[in-house]
Structure 1
Amino acid sequence: MSAAVTLGLLFFLSARLNKQVAESCSCFPGHPQQMFCMSDIVMRAEVTGEKIIQSDDNTPGMGKIQYEIQVIKVFKGFDRIKEIQHVYTNEMSSMCGTRLGRGQYLLSGSNTPDGIFVTLCNNLALWDRLSLIQKNNIENTYLMGCNCTVIKYVIYLF
């Protein structure tokens, strides 16, 4: 009887874990140029503050984070972006939300009806941690190559 209960419990926990994994955030890794090109907006911005906006039904953790920003430079996007003062993300990392501290960031994201939205799947990085080559590519090269597709190949040698 004890083995049957243990087996049933293991099955239940396994099914529960699989459900949790299925509900988590997952992103397909991409080349930085491809991520640049797939984004609606790419900018260098200073994050100066944050505020939690509760969901309509006040479910804990299901709200959004509103980051207050000052746009420094726009690399891709529409002209009015310098007027944008906020970007948004989901509150929970399992919903691909991201936490940003104060500082200057490379921010890329989507233009949604609710505003500029950034996620863990976008190209987000502290500006000072980017190499000079990365900064040069972002500022000068990537936009010109958006009509190309960058594919990573892995070669296995046996």
Structure 2
Amino acid sequence: MSAAVTLGLLFFLSVGLNEQLAEGCSCYPATFQQMFCSSDIVIQVEVTGEKIIHKATNIPGMGKIQYEIQVIKVFKGVDRTKKIQHVYTREMSSLCGTRLRHEQYLLFGRITSEGVFISLCSKPVLWDRLSLIKKWSLKYRYLLGCN
């Protein structure tokens, strides 16, 4: 095979793979209330650390990130007496993962057998950027009308 044909095939394969990865995390547009209602857990946290955990395959980028957190307030979800110390996300953003900094967040998450997971689609929000109305809505969550 000529070099030009090989390069052409590699180009088309890479475009196809990039498109698959980009479509791997399609997020349905959701309002703040829909995010609250569809989440297993809604918590205000402060991120205090992070650690990348690789699967048994040890393939870089295919693991998950464990964020050490301090829970400030639980708005929905687990028993308030239970201590949550970590939340997880996928390492690669193309697999819907998200990156957090050492700041306070409002997190919407899913409870799985592996722990509490957040994703790019769950739209973590910096606590200081939440409007007073959204903070009030969290405090009086029964008015949000999830039923």
Report the TM-score when normalising by structure 1. 0.81
Between the aligned partners of 1:137 and 1:30, the Cα distance in structure 2 is: 16
CA shift for structure 1 position 7 = 9.4
Structure 1 stretch displaced more, 72-81 or 102-111: 72-81
CA shift for structure 1 position 75 = 0.6
CA shift for structure 1 position 140 = 1.3
| Matching residue of 1:16 | 14
Higher CA-based Rg: 1
The unaligned stretches of length 5 or more in structure 1 are 148-158
The unaligned stretches of length 5 or more in structure 2 are none
Q: Percent identity?
A: 58
Between the aligned partners of 2:11 and 2:130, the Cα distance in structure 1 is: 42
Between the aligned partners of 2:37 and 2:4, the Cα distance in structure 1 is: 51
The Cα RMSD (Å) is 2.2
Between the aligned partners of 1:103 and 1:15, the Cα distance in structure 2 is: 40
Between the aligned partners of 1:81 and 1:88, the Cα distance in structure 2 is: 20
| Matching residue of 1:37 | 37
Between the aligned partners of 2:110 and 2:143, the Cα distance in structure 1 is: 16
Report the TM-score when normalising by structure 2. 0.86
Q: Evaluate the alpha carbon distance shift between residue 126 and residue 82 of structure 1 in structure 2; reply closer, same or farther with a 3 A threshold.
A: farther
Structure 1 stretch displaced more, 5-14 or 128-137: 5-14
Q: Would you say how many aligned residue pairs link Structure 1 and Structure 2?
A: 143
